[in-house]
Structure 1
């Protein structure tokens, strides 16, 4: 083959390869189609329970092929409102929201409603606005579990402290309702009932004050494990022997129960709440029929 023919052949091959390369660049690659985006507004990521909930949402969203935008409200309802406004501006397909306060969140839900963006609540409900589904544990039943356990352990009589969660949160209301339902027919006396806002440091501080004010305390029921662990620290520092029961079964609480320093905790499944939230969202977005309330099972951890 002459040198001229060789050059022509090589040149033709190069041209063909460039054409293929450019053509591939112009065609959309498989799987590059626009994915729907789900927004998650979580009450706080400064709490192991809600970190686990967020992880459940994230893993399920990835498995189901959704993009996910996560915004932390930092236990501030005004920040929560701003977060929802941001997601509305981004035109997400659906908003999952774990409210800071079940009453205050109504404004945020209404903003999403006005933008025709569906809302699913996780763990805590909304007192207003239109919500397509609510995924949560039965907090009333969980409170009753804790109350029944304390009644049995104290042989139906004693003095009890109740550490409440964030005022206005449905979990606070429901867990307190269940607990008080369980002890109503007993001879237990609730000698103090104060909020510690689901926070460990506040649980410590509030319990220190109660210990100074009350000479006789047989048990403490805290609406979540963070407050329970704070109260436990205060009790241990005081040298007194007081039974503590929490709620959520976080890793720290399970360890305390296993060691015997905490008597029990009601086990929620935050990762399952998160993943089920994505599942019900997907069902809604694909026009499948969904329930207004999706319950997630509880159990009492005592060892």
Structure 2
């Protein structure tokens, strides 16, 4: 493992925005699955802020939801002689080759928001997605009076976040025998796909009274498809706590959203990457708490 003592020396000798020039002039690499989503933009901003505070140069890339690009990006990181790399997998299985690139170069790797189903990863930093799913189930059930029919908009297949949020929701909703989950379909964490999927599901199930969407973007798309029914006839609970999602909660279109803390996730990623580079023994996972945002408390979550 490379020593972080060099990172500390770097921080003492150059401005925060510069980093040290060791060939690639880069200390850390962060491979994000996409930047076409405000949640991941929040992670990026948090990581940039933490790196700047530590005097480190960080290379942040956008894979545009293409796992092949993440392999290429990890190769770039290793060629830049980064001290550690962080990956937010496009897909938990497809990210294994990207992690393998860093493993072979003896660059420590941690993952953020989503786990990796192989390779050597020091730790996974993520929101408590399972508990968040349970919270969402309780909130949706309460808003429906414990009775009705629900559709679930799942996230991108193959991601740990989609799987864990769905698992938590299923566990939570089982406590309400008066609620029936009548449909579930992936919409890839995407707003446009969420609208298209919801439109089809609503046509097939005109008596829906509830929707759980595994992120705000899909929920906002679903709300658009439901039109005047959104938040009234059909209650919608989402996951992420993005500015657009919270604004929709304040406006009553969404019933609630389970808020993550993307900037904190980004800061934690940098902090744990530095510890990984220092050869520290890391916990298998680092869970960042989530909180339910409703119309009553939404003002606390806006800037």
Partner of 1:80: 70
Long gaps (5+) in structure 1: 1-28
Partner of 1:219: 210
Q: Is the 1:235–1:241 Cα contact (8 Å) retained in structure 2? A: no
Partner of 2:289: 297
| 290-299 or 34-43, which deviates more | 34-43
Pair 1:270–1:227, CA change in 2 (3 A): same
Partner of 1:44: 34
Partner of 1:104: 94
Q: Deviations over 1:85-110 (max 9, x none)?
A: 22122221111111111111111111
Q: Is the 2:143–2:235 Cα contact (8 Å) retained in structure 1? A: no
Q: Tell me, what secondary structure is at the counterpart of 1:207?
A: helix
Q: Deviations over 1:201-254 (max 9, x none)?
A: 000011111111112001100000000000000011678721111100000010
TM-score w.r.t. the length of structure 2 is: 0.87
Q: Deviations over 1:11-46 (max 9, x none)?
A: xxxxxxxxxxxxxxxxxx953854761001000000
Partner of 1:184: 174
Q: Tell me, what secondary structure is at the counterpart of 1:274?
A: helix
| 222, 225, 228: which one aligns with 1:231 | 222
1:84 to partner: Cα distance: 1.3
Q: Deviations over 1:69-96 (max 9, x none)?
A: 1110001111112211221222211111
Cα separation, 1, equivalents of 2:264 and 2:257: 18
How many residue pairs were aligned?
275
Q: Is the 1:146–1:266 Cα contact (8 Å) retained in structure 2? A: yes
Long gaps (5+) in structure 2: 1-11, 296-303
| 138-147 or 230-239, which deviates more | 230-239
Partner of 2:147: 157
Partner of 2:256: 264
TM-score w.r.t. the length of structure 1 is: 0.87
Higher RCO (CA-CA < 8 Å; seq separation 6+): 2
Q: Tell me, what secondary structure is at the counterpart of 1:132?
A: coil
Task: Flag the structure with larger Rg.
Answer: 1
Matched, 1:56 2:39: no
Q: Tell me, what secondary structure is at the counterpart of 1:125?
A: coil
Q: Is the 1:98–1:121 Cα contact (8 Å) retained in structure 2? A: yes
